[in-house]
Chain A
Amino acid sequence: MSEEILAMLSNLGAIESSKAVEKQVLNNSQSLKDRPIDEEISNLVRTGYIKETEGKLYLTQAGLFRALSRFS
């Protein structure tokens, strides 16, 4: 599920604080709907892939590269 969260943030363009998106947007997305994403998000924040600011999320550089790694 962590890969889906990273991919979703990348697709939404959440790659810096000014483009951060609310957690609710992820909760409402088709692939993550009704799934317990809070713990996964905490893990991703702890391991440096995501930053959280005022309840909004965006990818760090490491998070962006990991999200895109499948497609290069």
Chain B
Amino acid sequence: MATVLSKKPSKEEESGEIESRLARSLPKKKLRVLHFTWEYPPRIVGGIARVVEGLSKSLTKMGVEVHVITAEMPGSPKEQDDEGVFVHRVGIDAPAPNFHTWILLMNHFFAKRAGALLHEVGPFDIVHVHDWLVLPAGAEAKFFFGCKMVSTLHSLEYKRAGGVNSPEGHMIESFEWWITFESSVVIVCSNAMRGDARWKYNIPDEKIWVIPNGINPNKYNVPRPDRNSVKSRYGVAPSEFLVLFVGRLTHQKGCEYLIRAIPSVAKYYNVKLVIVGDGYMRGELEYTANVTGESWRMRFTGFLSDQDAVDLMLSADVMVIPSVYEPFGVVALEGMAAGLPIVASEIDGLAEIVNHEKTGILVRPRDSSSISWGISRVLSDPANAQRLVEDAKKELRERYTWDAVAALTLKSYEKALYGKLE
């Protein structure tokens, strides 16, 4: 049966949980889903790209026909079959005077591509919108396909920006509300995010679904690189501990608190901090590193290739995630998959992923002393750190595979299509 539920049964499928009206009513027709996202690999701005990629590929394995409309990326094909996922990269062929106008133009070109798809492949059953950035195109497509809309709110502006005090922020908030209005199902990645979204936009309980993000652990099941050689590439000697930060250099990631923690850790341990990523705060963070007087212990790498980032994760001693806002924190899963002990802020979704003293160490957000304590806790007790790593890997396998995420997402599509689950 060429349906959405015909291949490689997941745990839920085996238990019959998803055997439902959707499967019975579409016995000869594939479910067809169109994702809208402003980033898809290799265009990776934040976490959305990886989420859409992982989810789409797993949905495809389950028999869903998945198309993705996304923004162009120099060097990447405009049209691509990415392991069964049909990726349509759209050129934004008009200059804009500012970012928000550019976003509206991008949505125009996305909607135009969706209209063309209507003629090329026919209508879709679901449009799935990822964040406010692509809401207008998704909402248009919903109406001209005559289908249902499902959305994922990956984060919320009022927390991302530390408050909404500008005309642009108000525009983004209105788009976020608009998403919740147009969608039959709103997906969020953590219970913390669910609470924030319900509080902010009064979303009815039955409309909002918590579905975590996932990870592809195979990416880290590779032969370990020579640790000393990787460390030396970043100026870390074999005898020095490598503390790793991976993320955008933005306010929400809290990297400044980690930088300020390093001098106290260095009183007891010979550490170096490698900061992977880039962002608008890079200059400010480099200044902060200089002010500590210990900037020689810190290395900013900028963006790294996937391979280099994986090599670093497989060679580091501890990963620190000092975020001040983190709806989920997929980087924690990546660190766990690479076998790294995690020290993370006890905040939002991160506090749901990392279980204190079981799968990692939680520290107080915006608190360099607490971060310093967390790093020392890991470095001072290698046996305990190894136990944390083993427990975290077990949790990963049980809860955060893309197949499990896709199975839940499929159920949300069913809810959107038929109004209720049987």
Which B42-77 residues have a C-beta within 8 angstroms of A? Answer: 44-48, 72, 74
Among residues 83 to 116 in chain B, which have CB atoms less than 8 Å away from a CB atom of chain A? 92-99, 101-102
B283 nearest in chain A by CB position: A2
Is B196's CB within 8 Å of the partner chain A?
no
Check A13/B93 contact, CB under 8 A, given A65-B303, A69-B248: yes
Q: Are B74 and A16 in contact (CB under 8 A)?
A: yes
Q: For chain A residues 6-56, which have a beta carbon within 8 Å of chain B?
A: 7, 10-13, 15-16, 21, 29-30, 48
**Hey, which chain A residues are within 8 Å of B95, CB to CB?**
11-13, 21
Instruction: Identify A66's interface contact among B92, B94, B96, B282, CB under 8 A.
Output: B282
Distance of A48 Cα from B48 Cα, bound (Å): 25
Q: Is the interface of A mostly helix, strand, loop or mixed?
A: helix
Task: Tell me if A62 and B74 are in contact (CB < 8 A).
Answer: no
Q: Which residue on chain B has the smallest CB distance to residue A15?
A: B74
Contact B250 A69 (CB under 8 A): yes
State how many angstroms separate the Cβ of A62 from the closest Cβ of chain B.
5
Q: Which residues of A contact B280 (CB under 8 A)?
A: 3, 66, 69-70
Query: Which of B47, B99, B250, B278 is close to A11, meaning CB atoms less than 8 Å apart?
Result: B99
Which residues of B lie under 8 Å from residue A3 when comparing CB positions? 280
> Does B302 sit at the interface, judged by CB under 8 A?
yes
Given contact pairs A16-B74, A62-B278, A62-B302, A68 touches B45 in the complex (Cβ within 8 A):
yes
Q: How would residues 55 to 68 of chain A score, 1 for a CB under 8 Å from any chain B CB and 0 otherwise?
A: 00000011001101
**A15 CA to B44 CA in the complex, in Å?**
15
**Chain B min CB distance to A12 (Å):** 4
Is B39 interfacial (CB-CB < 8 Å)? yes
Inter-subunit contact B39/A72 (CB<8 Å): yes
**Residues of chain B with a CB closer than 8 A to A66's CB:** 278-280, 282
A-B contact number at CB 8 A = 61
For the complex, give the distance between the alpha carbons of A65 and B247 in Å.
12
Report if B312 contacts A (CB, 8 A): no
B362: chain A residues at CB < 8 Å are: none
Tell me if B133 is interfacial: C-beta within 8 Å of chain A. Answer: yes
Chain B residues within an 8 Å CB radius of A71: 45, 99, 133
Chain B positions within 8 Å of A48 at CB level = 302
A42 to chain B, nearest CB (A): 15
Task: List CB contacts (< 8 Å) of B12-51 with chain A.
Answer: 39, 44-48
Given A11-B101, A11-B102, are A69 and B44 also a contact pair (CB < 8 Å)? no
B310 to chain A, nearest CB (A): 18
A12 touches B46 (CB 8 A): no
* B249 located at the interface, meaning its Cβ lies under 8 Å from any Cβ of chain A in the complex: yes
Known: A13-B92, A62-B278, A66-B280. A29 touches B249 (CB 8 A): no
Interface residues of B (CB under 8 A from A): 39, 44-48, 72, 74, 92-99, 101-102, 133, 248-250, 278-280, 282-283, 302-303
- 16 CB contacts below 8 A, A to B, read A3-B280, A11-B97, A11-B99, A12-B96, A13-B93, A13-B94, A15-B74, A21-B95, A62-B303, A65-B44, A65-B45, A66-B278, A69-B46, A69-B249, A69-B280, A70-B250
